[in-house]
Amino acid sequence: MEKKPHFVRREFLPREVPSISLALLLAAVLLLNALLYLYLNKFYSSLGRVETDPGLCPFGHFKFGTVKNCSPWLSCEAINREVRKLKCVGEGAVKKVFLSEWKEKKVVLSQLTNSELKEDFLHGLKMLKALQSKHVVRLLGYCEQQFTILTEYHPLGSLRGLNETLHIPKYKGMNTWHRRLMLAIDYVSVIRYLHSSPLGTLVMCDSNDLDKVLSQYLLTSDFHVLVNDLDALPLVNRSAGRLVKCGHRELRGEFVAPEQRWPYGEDVPFEDDLMPPYDEKTDIWKIPDVSNFFLGHVEGSDIVRLHLFDIHAACKKKDPAERPSAQEVLDIYRKVLTLLIREAAMPGTREML
């Protein structure tokens, strides 16, 4: 009879140990979830900063770098007096771009090169002023009389050089599926912002091929995406029956949306007057191709593509009305990021439970 207590202890001890282990495991899962929540909350807070408040300055002012005080946009006189050109770093159909210097800071000076396109230049300036936000390159000043715009300088340049940048030793640590997906989220966030901008629904028309799209955006030093070129940004107004056409020439290729292509076959010569207009869903059609570039071919990128398959298939619907909105695409991208980060943080947890 005296041995019975020993028998009872041996019987219960194995049952208590798994209970304690399970409790510890559940506590660990809860802790990881809490840490994940805090991380994602911080991440989404950075994504969701006040849309129209770059650098916390009022309209018509700017600040950047370590400068604490806001300055008014530079005038013609200030630009002529204080900005010094260093070298030409690019030239397009509308303007020439110079790396320049202002108060010992690198800046970008853009000047009109073709007087026939001054309306495009001034439209781009108008958009740049009206759309200042965390999604748009920072405006520092302008001179309408001299067709000059001054903006913040980003040394990593346009998104065309993304893969080359990620192979530089300094940035190799950024070359992960996680960082690449965050860049894709930034890009879709820009599209969402343009589609619901303070001016109304705007269409990114300078986007007839992937290279052209990438040239319109900048990569910041802290690896975010900014839209830089707003010269071709027409307004859709469905209530007024206003749709858009991206230029007056025929568009070809699979990159542009079906409704942007000539609908009457090869036997009918293209005529701009006969070309039907369209809406902002052309931007949605292009999202999968641009995101595919962002994701690259790093470890884990194919898993991301798999999770995005359904939303990308929806983006490629032939009928524009059946495509999702930019907000819906953005929501899915964020959900996928959350899911994959959770799985990476807690591998095998489901099987253990």
CATH code, domain carrying 336: 1.10.510.10
Clarify whether residues 190 and 265 are in a common domain. Answer: yes
Q: Residue 323: pLDDT above 90?
A: yes
What does the pLDDT look like over 187-217, one tens digit per residue? 999 999 999 999 999 999 999 999 999 999 9
Clarify whether residues 139 and 158 are in a common domain. Answer: no
- What is the mean predicted confidence (pLDDT) over 140-150? 97
| Closest to 59 (Cα-Cα) out of 108, 5, 159, 129 | 129
Q: Is 326 helix (H, G, I), strand (E, B) or coil?
A: helix
Q: Which domain holds residue 166?
A: 154-346
| Closest to 154 (Cα-Cα) out of 142, 138, 168 | 138
Q: Is 57 helix (H, G, I), strand (E, B) or coil?
A: coil
Clarify whether residues 180 and 229 are in a common domain. Answer: yes
| Per-residue pLDDT, 33 | 59
Q: What's the whole-model pTM score?
A: 0.84
In angstroms, what CA-CA distances link 204 with 76, 177, 214, 319? Answer: 29, 26, 12, 19
What does the pLDDT look like over 58-108, one tens digit per residue? 999 998 777 788 999 999 999 999 999 999 998 888 899 999 999 999 999
Q: Residue 162: pLDDT above 80?
A: yes
Clarify whether residues 218 and 262 are in a common domain. Answer: yes
| Closest to 57 (Cα-Cα) out of 131, 107, 132, 109 | 132
Clarify whether residues 261 and 173 are in a common domain. Answer: yes
Alpha-carbon Rg for the chain in angstroms? 26
| Per-residue pLDDT, 348 | 56
Q: Residue 336: pLDDT above 60?
A: yes
Clarify whether residues 251 and 329 are in a common domain. Answer: yes
Question: Does a structural domain hold residue 165?
Answer: yes
Which residues are CB-neighbours of 330 under 8 A, at least 6 positions away? 185, 188, 189, 192
Q: Which two tokens stand for residue 76?
A: 């013609």
Q: Looking at 89, 122, 153, which one is the last position of a domain? A: 153
What does the pLDDT look like over 277-301, one tens digit per residue? 999 999 999 999 999 999 999 999 9
